[in-house]
Amino acid sequence: MTDRAARQAEVIRALQQVLPPHALLWRGEDTVPYECDGLTAYREQPLVVVLPETEAQVSGVLKACHALGVPVVARGAGTGLSGGAMPHKLGVTLSLAKFNKILKVDAYARTAVVQCGVRNLAISEAAAPYGLYYAPDPSSQIACTIGGNVAENSGGVHCLKYGLTVHNVLKVRGFTVEGEAVEFGADALDAAGLDLLAVMVGSEGMLAVAIEVTVRLVPKPQLARCIMASFDDVRKAGDAVAAIIAAGIIPAGLEMMDKPMTAAVEDFVRAGYDLDAAAILLCESDGTPEEVAEEIEHMQAVLQGCGATRMEVSENEAQRLKFWSGRKNAFPASGRISPDYMCMDSTIPRKRLADILLAIAEMEKKYGLRCCNVFHAGDGNLHPLILFDANDPDEMHRCELFGADILETSVRMGGTVSGEHGVGVEKLGSMCVQFTPAENAQMMALKAAFDPTGILNPGKVIPTLQRCAEGGKMHVKKGLLPFPELPRF
Ligand SMILES: Cc1cc2nc3c(=O)[nH]c(=O)nc-3n(C[C@H](O)[C@H](O)[C@H](O)COP(=O)(O)OP(=O)(O)OC[C@H]3O[C@@H](n4cnc5c(N)ncnc54)[C@H](O)[C@@H]3O)c2cc1C
């Protein structure tokens, strides 16, 4: 028996004490569906996958793993794009798929209490009869879970106006690495003491396991309309984004797509996009009919001033949804034109949007790979989709270099290496670019305060000193690229 097989047998024996047989998977053919998340380029087989159905079982799994020193990787729907839920080869993958109940919708308090495995969209569906919805709307909302959203601090089209997950969650209940119950936040609008809820949100399964989440609900706006604006130059489109915000408008959504992306999408969903445009913007307004009319007019004036070559305003809900269907299907559309794609997720100051897009165009030549751009422009949150073939090791290598270059350039333009998809395993090296060794050590110390033995999702998010040294990377904060002067509108 190999060491791995012996360890596996030991872990299975311990977990059999706390789980029924059907909640425990270890044969290769059963665990293979869990070998990766949405970042399919990296895969690993776990020792065991567990699917607990009660909180007592979750606690029992954590206690058993803690006693044996076995790594535990929590998993929601596995739609993550940075390898956060990728298994540990000597660890247990803790699937929370069975925690899929909506426990309460309180229309008076405008909150919902849901289990962590509830799908994002299911919350809005349950709140709809009360005229309410859950605002953060990742494009994966049909599948991704609220537990995963909390762990990644997920965003979406409407987060520019309504905030990210961290702004829409009141309380998270769960378990510590030792299997003890823990609560972050409160039912009230503020919790006493240090803001540990904000620490838990975005902690990528490294501090605790979330089991139940209390979310805020917001009233469904009476009306929403969307402008589709075309530009013959990406710089003009990028500058238009900064100009809209500078004009004091906070649109309900402000998204951008470049020409290769609209071509891929249009072929797939026929959203009616302008295929001649170098870039298009989708600018949404919501509120009362009067508020929407005024804001749409204001945005049109700004877009016109920035050189929009064509503008179309949705006339009805069907047309508005058609505009958004293209944006929401951008990732699957990329899957139709390339065997694989790697979605990067950096942020930059809005006024640098055009600079980074032009830099990415240069990188396409440097690395010999195509890249489509679709992103939350209003948040300055980029999603370059690098197209490659994972079966070709050279392409895979060039793709990794291309991605790292985008992240490093984003930091040098004053941005960050991660917007809403988390760091996971994908951006470990880039964390060395963004943070000093002392800053990374502080994050490691925070993890150790929650998880002293380091078994919750180890090897993710925070790079070791050795990793930074091996990557040959240095943090670049001191060498920021200068801001160019922007035209005034
Ligand atoms: C087509 C597509 C579009 C996407 N669009 C967006 C988008 O617009 N915005 C956006 O933000 N993201 C987007 N994503 C990324 C992804 O959907 C989100 O990161 C989502 O929050 C992941 O949820 P999940 O349930 O799939 O989590 P998983 O992928 O299963 O896990 C993600 C991380 O959360 C941890 N985790 C999961 N559940 C728990 C729990 N209960 N307790 C503690 N830790 C836990 C895992 O360990 C892992 O680190 C997209 C992904 C795809 C495939």
pLDDT in 10s for each residue of the chain, 489 residues = 789 999 999 999 999 999 999 999 999 999 999 999 999 888 999 999 999 999 999 999 999 999 999 999 999 999 999 999 999 999 999 999 999 999 999 999 999 999 999 999 999 999 999 999 999 999 899 999 999 999 999 999 999 999 999 999 999 999 999 999 999 999 988 888 999 999 999 999 999 999 999 999 999 999 999 999 999 999 999 999 999 999 999 999 999 999 999 999 998 889 999 999 999 999 999 999 999 999 999 999 999 999 999 999 999 999 999 999 999 889 889 888 999 999 999 999 988 999 999 999 999 999 999 999 999 999 999 999 999 998 999 999 999 999 999 999 999 999 999 989 999 998 988 899 899 999 999 999 999 999 999 999 999 999 887 778 776 555 554 444 544 443 333
Evaluate: CB of 173 within 6 angstroms of ligand 1: no
Q: At what angle do helices 289-305 and 234-246 cross, to 10 degrees?
A: 130
Separation of alpha carbons 481 and 413, rounded Å: 5
Per-residue pLDDT, 486: 36
**In 3-state terms, what secondary structure has residue 169?**
strand
Separation of alpha carbons 271 and 327, rounded Å: 9
What is the tens place of the pLDDT at every residue in 129-141?
A: 999 999 999 989 9
The pick from 39, 62, 79, 341 for probing ligand 1's pocket by mutation, whose C-beta has the most ligand atoms within 8 angstroms, reads 79
Radius of gyration of the chain from its Cα atoms, rounded to whole angstroms: 23
Residues of each domain in the chain carrying CATH 3.30.465.10: 102-219
Per-residue pLDDT, 82: 94
Per-residue pLDDT, 275: 94
Separation of alpha carbons 327 and 137, rounded Å: 13
Contact 299, 364 (CB under 8 A): no
Quick count: other Cβ atoms within 10 Å of Cβ 452? 10
**Ligand 1 geometric centre to CA of 182 (Å):** 22
Evaluate: CB of 151 within 6 angstroms of ligand 1: yes
Contact 484, 358 (CB under 8 A): no
Q: Which two tokens stand for residue 156?
A: 């979406």
What is the tens place of the pLDDT at every residue in 211-223?
A: 999 999 999 999 9
Per-residue pLDDT, 466: 75
Per-residue pLDDT, 267: 87
Separation of alpha carbons 245 and 461, rounded Å: 32
Separation of alpha carbons 257 and 277, rounded Å: 10
Per-residue pLDDT, 218: 97
Read out DSSP for 223-272? EEEEEEEEESSHHHHHHHHHHHHHTT---SEEEEEEHHHHHHHHHHH---
One of 3.30.460.80, 3.30.565.10, 3.40.30.10, 3.30.43.10 is the CATH number of 3-95, namely 3.30.43.10
- Taken in order 173, 88, 394, 465, the sign of the CA dihedral is positive
To which residue do tokens 């425990």 refer? 24
Burial of residue 165 (CB within 10 Å: 0-12, 13-18, 19+) is buried
Q: Which residue's alpha carbon is at the smallest distance from atom 44 of ligand 1?
A: 205
Read out DSSP for 404-440? HHHHHHHHHTT-BS-SSS--TTTTHHHHHHHS-HHHH
Evaluate: CB of 333 within 6 angstroms of ligand 1: no
C-alpha 19: how far from chain center: 31
Q: Which atom of ligand 1 is nearest to the CA of 141?
A: 17
CATH number for the domain formed by residue range(s) 338-479: 3.30.70.2740
Evaluate: CB of 251 within 6 angstroms of ligand 1: no
Evaluate: CB of 15 within 6 angstroms of ligand 1: no
Q: How far apart are the first and last CA of the chain?
A: 72
Architecture of the domain spanning 102-219: 2-Layer Sandwich (3.30)
Residues of each domain in the chain carrying CATH 3.30.70.2740: 338-479
Separation of alpha carbons 37 and 379, rounded Å: 25
The pick from 95, 98, 100, 140 for probing ligand 1's pocket by mutation, whose C-beta has the most ligand atoms within 8 angstroms, reads 140
Separation of alpha carbons 304 and 247, rounded Å: 13
CA-nearest of 131, 247, 154 to 203 is 154
Per-residue pLDDT, 9: 97
Per-residue pLDDT, 471: 62
**Ligand 1 geometric centre to CA of 370 (Å):** 26
**Ligand 1 geometric centre to CA of 297 (Å):** 36
> pTM higher than 0.75, yes or no?
yes
- Beta-carbon-side half-sphere exposure of residue 217 (alpha carbons within 13 Å): 28
CATH class of segment(s) 223-327: alpha beta
Evaluate: CB of 419 within 6 angstroms of ligand 1: no
- Please name the residue ranges forming H helices in 247-352: 259-269, 289-305, 317-328, 330-337
CA-nearest of 229, 232, 318, 324 to 269 is 324
Residues of each domain in the chain carrying CATH 3.30.43.10: 3-95
CA-nearest of 54, 51, 64, 56 to 10 is 64
* Pairing of the two strands 48-50 and 24-25: antiparallel
Contact 126, 118 (CB under 8 A): no
